[in-house]
Amino acid sequence: MEEIRKLLGSEKLILGKERTLKELRKGNLQKVFIASNLDEQTKKDLEYYQEINNFELVNSNMTNEELGTLCRKPFSIAVMGLLK
């Protein structure tokens, strides 16, 4: 998850399921990071968009609470996207 730490200060990392899915529909993401405890429906949605948009889907070994802590946020984060 060193890659996420490096991207935290940049404007290219977007946080949250809704924003990530919105950018995926536009085809604006090159990589998506997901929490280990992401719900199955969201995972299926991401895999569907992966077939269409050809981006890298990275399964982290961290829970959504741990990702929130890593990003220094007071809330949990299940999905993050990296803009092109």
Q: What token pair was written down for 29? A: 């993401």
How far is 23 from 46, CA to CA, in rounded Å?
Answer: 12
Walk me through the domains of the chain, giving residue ranges and CATH numbers: 2-83 (3.30.1330.30)
What gap in Å lies between CA 74 and CA 83, rounded to an integer? 23
- Assess contact for 83 and 31: CB atoms under 8 A: no
Non-local (6+) Cβ contacts of 16 within 8 A are 77, 79, 80
Q: What is the mean pLDDT of residues 50-71?
A: 92
Q: What is the pLDDT of residues 21-55, one digit of tens each?
A: 999 999 999 999 999 999 999 999 999 999 988 89
pTM over 0.85? The answer is yes
pLDDT above 80 for 84: yes
The reported pLDDT for the residue numbered 10 is 80
Give the Cβ contact number of residue 80 at 10 Å.
26
